[in-house]
């Protein structure tokens, strides 16, 4: 085994240990995850990204072991050159990467796992000196009493009841059924077969980008010619197996 073979094998083993630690950390809250390792600035990787990364590292390990068994010492040297050039000229500044997790620097996983939610932090606004001549006095908003809140909530209901009462009192003309107007801002796009395929393709693409499942409906709804988030959620629930299979296989 050449020195390059030894360095590449050690690096691959270090990657596998790091990814296994990350797979343990996915159940932690954001606050607990921030404390478990001295992380660099990055976007927290999802379980799907970690599983794909582990699969690719195992494939690379198999290639390296095969080349080592064949006595090909140039293969590991080529991998080192590729890694050097990728960091030097190929890769731009990004935050979507899986940082290296070091077992020696890991905090107590048992103690960290108990933290489910991030602690609530109350921040007070910094004191600002008011410019001379500015006599404006700002007051804190006052909380309404229970009776005042009840009156405020009852007022809109009373206003809504007035048109219905006037409509009931007005004389009817013929037997025509009143029509309901649709809000111009609501999306009334019907989910056809072609549109369903577009939604599935959007979901597969977003999953590849590392977006969590619960955000897909809102993100797809922002795309032009897509239905409302509620309709998109129905399509996603009905096609979740197909979407996850396409995202994992491509």
pLDDT tens per residue across span 212-249 = 988 898 999 888 888 888 999 999 999 998 898 888 88
Task: Give the H or E element holding residue 168.
Answer: helix 146-169
Whether 7 and 109 share a structural domain: yes
Inter-residue contact 17 to 103 (CB < 8 Å): yes
Instruction: Give the domain-ending residue among 65, 89, 113.
Output: 113
Residue entry with tokens 């405020």: 152
Distances in whole angstroms, Cα of residue 242 to Cα of each of 148, 193, 204, 221, 233: 52, 15, 9, 20, 14
The predicted-structure confidence for 50-85, as pLDDT tens digits, reads as follows 889 899 999 998 998 899 888 887 888 888 888 887
Instruction: Give the domain-ending residue among 113, 132, 164.
Output: 113
**Residue 117 CB-half CA count within 13 A:** 3
Residue 127, SS3 per DSSP: coil
Whether 109 and 207 share a structural domain: no
Domain residues for 236? 193-249
- Give phi and psi for 42, each to the nearest 5: -165, 165
Is residue 136 assigned to a domain?
no
The predicted-structure confidence for 127-153, as pLDDT tens digits, reads as follows 555 555 444 444 444 544 455 545 555
Is residue 122 assigned to a domain?
no
pLDDT at residue 190 tops 70: no
On whether the pTM is more than 0.75, the answer is no
233/243 Cα distance (integer angstroms): 13
Instruction: Give the domain-ending residue among 113, 138, 154.
Output: 113
199/182 Cα distance (integer angstroms): 24
Is residue 138 assigned to a domain?
no
78/73 Cα distance (integer angstroms): 9
Nearest to 81 by CA among 18, 10, 8: 8
142/204 Cα distance (integer angstroms): 48
Is residue 160 assigned to a domain?
no
Pair of tokens at residue 134:
């500015």
Structurally, how many domains does the chain consist of? 2
43: pLDDT confidence band, cut at 50, 70 and 90? confident
Pair of tokens at residue 129:
């000196």
Distances in whole angstroms, Cα of residue 104 to Cα of each of 17, 38, 48: 11, 11, 25
């Amino acid at each position: 085994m050449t020195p390059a073979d030894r360095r590449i094998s050690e690096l691959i083993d270090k990657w596998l240990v790091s990814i296994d630690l990350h797979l343990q950390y996915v159940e932690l809250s954001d606050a607990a995850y921030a404390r478990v390792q001295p992380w660099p600035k990055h976007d927290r990787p999802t379980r799907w990204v970690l599983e794909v990364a582990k699969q690719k590292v195992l494939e690379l390990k198999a290639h390296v072991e095969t080349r080592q068994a064949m006595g090909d010492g140039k293969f590991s040297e080529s991998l080192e050159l590729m890694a050097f050039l990728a960091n030097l000229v190929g890769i731009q500044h990004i935050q979507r990467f899986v940082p290296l997790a070091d077992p020696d620097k890991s905090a107590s996983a048992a103690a960290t796992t108990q933290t489910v939610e991030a602690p609530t932090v109350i921040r007070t606004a910094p004191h600002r000196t008011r410019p001379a001549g500015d006599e404006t006095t700002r007051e804190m908003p006052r909380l309404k009493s229970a009776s005042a809140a009840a009156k405020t909530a009852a007022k809109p209901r009373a206003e809504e009841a007035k048109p219905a009462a006037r409509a009931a009192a007005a004389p009817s003309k013929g037997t025509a059924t009143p029509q309901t107007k649709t809000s111009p801002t609501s999306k009334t796009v019907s989910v056809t077969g072609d549109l369903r395929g577009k939604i599935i393709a959007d979901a597969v693409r977003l999953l590849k980008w590392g977006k969590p499942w619960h955000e897909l409906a809102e993100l797809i709804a922002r795309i032009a010619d897509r239905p409302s988030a509620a309709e998109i959620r129905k399509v996603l629930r009905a096609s979740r197996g197909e979407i996850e299979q396409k995202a994992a296989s491509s």
